[in-house]
């Protein structure tokens, strides 16, 4: 990101707390942010402003008369600004709403900051790609329209003409309006000049070049050379045709081109030599170039002069089966010697053909230097590949179209426990899948794979459980691909043992949601759970309650006994509360000596009873050398009109009311219970 010109992100979120958390993260990564709480204010701000934000990060559910989806629709009608949605859930209904406004995706509320930043950066990249595509299309259309070469854009399937430039309209003799009502069949001939296929079909598929006759508006036919290539234009894949009129050139050069292509310009060496004297009658340009001799020098030479391993006698013996009519062709490998004395390998095709009233020998000679080099490189690559596959840390497995294992590297043996001798030629899944129902599902899927090379996991990387030979399960990552060998589909799987990674992921996740001192949930995770609970209440109407408590005079403990003693008090209190609350309750350290509990489907009265019980239990904790510890409690119940902010503010007020009432007591919105 350019620090001198930071990108501006407009955050639209009716929860000021959530909005500020997002803004703090974005500011940390160098973005400039602004917060707006309603859709109406956002529309007014963006549509009427000269300088628009670079991106809008917007909650779907907003206060006011329009939600985030309607806000996005209004903005997109006026300006092209990337919009990334914030949502508490990724239901099918929410996804359909997001798709309806061509948004740049969504971010779940409360995700890790790195996920948020990654989504923001991806949205910017997608937007930039969209802008570049638009510019390329505008440039293409400008070049297309103004070029003096005949050009057409056609739809590949139907052959309908989508666009025609000025040169095309002039060449065919139709107006542009008429051209756009036609398809390619209306202007091309019946078949390509070689008669291989219909012109229209050849042009739809793409051929370079395609030579065919085309009809003009006046009925005249012209021979054209057409070059076609697919282009992505305005969201569609079209066929771009460039058309050259070669009628006159073709008439003049047809015979010359045929000879030139057949003989003179061949990249291979072609020789014609006398059946008795063996002297060369004609040699092509490829022979002259490869060997370095002039045409005059060739006239005094024979094939024996080029092939050091032959004598005149041995070469005539080689030709004998042709001269006697026993064979029509002889193919052999030898070496050719250039004029400078250097040698190179060749493959020679010899025939005896009729030339006028006599027979002559014709030799087609292919320089196989590159082939030999490729064969050597291929051999070396195969050796390298074999070494890599044998020494790879990941398991590499291949199964044939019957499901039997054909390749099993040492890493596969180490990860899955089966030796190569045990597994080669065996059906892999019969060994690995113990559940008969799952095995039957696999067999049905494999039948489809045998026919098409396709499957739900082909071309993807997935995580799954694999069974070791010894019976225990391991976490693995599987990358599966298909390859066709001799008309049969084979599967290649690369398996990586990710057991340690999964363990670390679980550990990191646990660390990301818990307080390291007390081993209870941290504030950030609690906020996610509270937001989810509010969404759940909106669906099932079963209310919840919150308890917030704070240790009384905790600073004196730290000042008098030290922070180690303070930490011990915090852990003891946390352990005491954890033993009493339900598994469905969410207990978190709110900050310092302050704690909070989310009680799903719990009334205010029951929450107050629990708070009083916890107050008493905390006051009875025995902490050697420190003395009694007490806590003040605030309790509240969720109301239909509440937001995250209002319910948290209310429970916090109750806590401070308890502190103001002398501490070591419980305060709620309806009544209080004094400490004993």
Tens of pLDDT along 141-193? 666 666 777 888 778 777 788 788 888 888 888 888 888 888 777 666 545 55
DSSP 321-384: HHHTTS-S-EEEEEEEE-TTS-EEEEEEEEEEEEETTEEEEEEEEEE-HHHHHHHHHHHHHHHH
How high is the mean pLDDT of the chain?
A: 83
Q: 514-668, what's its fold?
A: Alpha-Beta Plaits (3.30.70)
Mean pLDDT along residues 498-513:
84
Q: Where are the alpha helices (DSSP H) in 581-643?
A: 604-619
37-46, 107-116, 146-155, 416-425: least confident range: 146-155
Mean pLDDT along residues 255-260:
57
> Left if phi > 0, otherwise alpha if psi is -120 to 50, otherwise beta: which for 471?
left
d(CA 155, CA 182): 11
Architecture of the domain delimited by 393-501: 2-Layer Sandwich (3.30)
Which one is predicted more confidently, 597 or 79?
597
d(CA 77, CA 66): 15
pLDDT surpasses 50 at 197: yes
Angle of CA points 106, 107, 109, to nearest 5°: 135
Spatial contact of 445 and 433, defined as CB atoms under 8 Å apart:
no
Q: Is 8-138 a domain of CATH 3.40.50.10860?
A: no
d(CA 486, CA 469): 32
CA 13 to chain CA centroid, nearest Å: 30
- Report the pLDDT value the prediction gives residue 235, as an integer from 0 to 100: 63
Pairing of strands 461-467, 343-355: unpaired
d(CA 370, CA 622): 87
CATH dotted code for 266-371: 3.30.450.20
Question: pLDDT by residue (tens digit) across 73-112?
Answer: 888 888 888 888 888 887 888 788 888 887 677 888 888 8
Helix axes 604-619, 563-580, angle to 10 degrees: 140
Mean pLDDT along residues 468-497:
80
Query: Which of 117-121, 211-215, 352-356 tops mean pLDDT?
Result: 117-121
Spatial contact of 147 and 167, defined as CB atoms under 8 Å apart:
yes
Q: What residue ranges do the domains of the chain occupy?
A: 8-138, 147-251, 266-371, 393-501, 514-668
Task: Tell me the two tokens of residue 469.
Answer: 């030979």
What residues are annotated to the active site?
Answer: 593
Spatial contact of 235 and 130, defined as CB atoms under 8 Å apart:
no
Which one is predicted more confidently, 130 or 649?
649
Q: 147-251, what's its fold?
A: Beta-Lactamase (3.30.450)
- Report the pLDDT value the prediction gives residue 673, as an integer from 0 to 100: 47
- Report the pLDDT value the prediction gives residue 435, as an integer from 0 to 100: 61
Asked if the domains at 266-371 and 514-668 fall in one CATH topology, the answer is: no
For residue 209, say if its preceding peptide bond is cis, omega within 30 degrees of 0: yes
């Amino acid at each position: 990101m350019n620090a001198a010109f930071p990108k501006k992100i407009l955050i639209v979120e009716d929860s000021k707390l959530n909005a500020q958390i997002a803004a703090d993260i974005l500011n940390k990564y160098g973005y400039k942010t602004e917060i707006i709480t309603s859709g109406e204010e956002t529309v007014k701000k963006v549509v009427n402003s000269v300088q628009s934000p670079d991106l809008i990060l917007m909650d779907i559910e907003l206060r006011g008369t329009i939600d985030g989806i309607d806000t996005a629709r209004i903005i997109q009608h006026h300006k092209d600004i990337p919009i990334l949605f914030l949502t508490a859930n990724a239901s099918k209904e929410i996804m359909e709403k997001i798709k309806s406004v061509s948004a740049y995706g969504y971010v779940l509320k409360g995700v890790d900051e790195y996920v948020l930043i990654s989504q923001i950066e991806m949205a910017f990249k997608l937007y930039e790609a969209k802008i570049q595509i638009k510019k390329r299309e505008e440039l293409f259309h400008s070049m297309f329209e103004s070029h003096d070469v005949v050009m057409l854009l056609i739809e590949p399937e139907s052959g309908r003409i989508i666009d025609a430039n000025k040169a095309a309209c002039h060449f065919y003799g139709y107006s542009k309006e008429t051209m756009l009502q036609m398809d390619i069949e209306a202007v091309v001939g019946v078949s390509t000049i070689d008669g291989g296929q219909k012109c229209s079909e050849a042009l739809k598929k793409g051929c370079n070049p395609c030579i065919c006759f085309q009809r003009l508006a006046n009925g005249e036919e012209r021979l054209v050379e057409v070059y076609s290539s697919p282009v992505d234009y305005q969201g569609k894949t079209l066929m771009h045709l460039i058309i050259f009129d070669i009628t006159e050139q073709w008439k003049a050069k047809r015979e010359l081109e045929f000879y030139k292509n057949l003989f003179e310009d061949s990249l291979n060496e072609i020789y014609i030599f006398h059946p008795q004297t063996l002297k060369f009658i004609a040699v092509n340009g490829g022979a002259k170039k490869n060997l370095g001799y002039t045409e005059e020098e060739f006239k005094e030479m024979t094939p024996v002069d080029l092939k050091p391993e032959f004598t005149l006698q041995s070469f005539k013996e080689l030709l004998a089966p042709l001269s006697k009519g026993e064979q029509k062709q002889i193919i052999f490998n030898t070496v050719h010697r250039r004029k400078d004395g250097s040698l190179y390998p060749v493959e020679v095709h010899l025939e005896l053909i009729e030339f006028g009233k006599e027979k002559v020998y014709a030799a087609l000679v292919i320089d196989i230097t590159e082939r030999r080099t490729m064969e050597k490189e291929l051999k070396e690559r195969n050796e390298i590949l074999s070494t890599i596959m044998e020494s790879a840390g990941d398991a590499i497995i291949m199964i044939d179209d019957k499901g039997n294992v054909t390749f099993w590297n040492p890493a596969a043996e180490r990860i899955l426990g089966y030796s190569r001798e045990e597994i080669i030629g065996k059906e892999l899944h019969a060994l690995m899948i113990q559940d008969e129902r799952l095995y039957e599902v696999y067999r049905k899927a494999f039948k489809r794979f045998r026919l098409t090379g396709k499957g739900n996991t082909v071309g993807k990387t997935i995580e799954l459980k694999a069974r070791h030979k010894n019976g225990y399960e391991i976490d693995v990552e599987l990358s599966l691909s298909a390859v066709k060998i001799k008309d049969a589909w084979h599967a290649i799987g690369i398996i990586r043992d990710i057991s340690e990674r999964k363990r670390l992921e679980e550990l990191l996740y646990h660390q990301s949601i818990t307080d390291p001192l007390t081993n209870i949930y941290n504030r950030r995770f609690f906020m996610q759970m509270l937001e989810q609970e509010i969404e759940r209440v909106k669906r099932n109407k079963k209310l919840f309650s919150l308890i917030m408590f704070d240790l009384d005079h905790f600073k004196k403990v730290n000042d008098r006994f030290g922070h180690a003693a303070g930490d011990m008090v915090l852990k003891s209190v946390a352990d005491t509360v954890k033993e009493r609350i339900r598994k469905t309750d969410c207990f978190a350290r709110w900050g310092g000596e302050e704690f909070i509990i989310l009680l799903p489907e719990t009334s205010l009265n029951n929450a107050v009873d629990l708070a009083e019980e916890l107050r008493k239990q905390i006051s009875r904790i025995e902490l050697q050398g420190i003395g009694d510890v007490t806590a003040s409690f605030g309790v509240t119940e969720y109301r239909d009109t509440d937001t995250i902010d209002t319910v948290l503010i209310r429970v916090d007020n109750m806590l401070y009311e308890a502190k103001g009432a002398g501490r070591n007591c419980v305060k709620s919105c309806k009544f209080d219970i004094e400490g004993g």
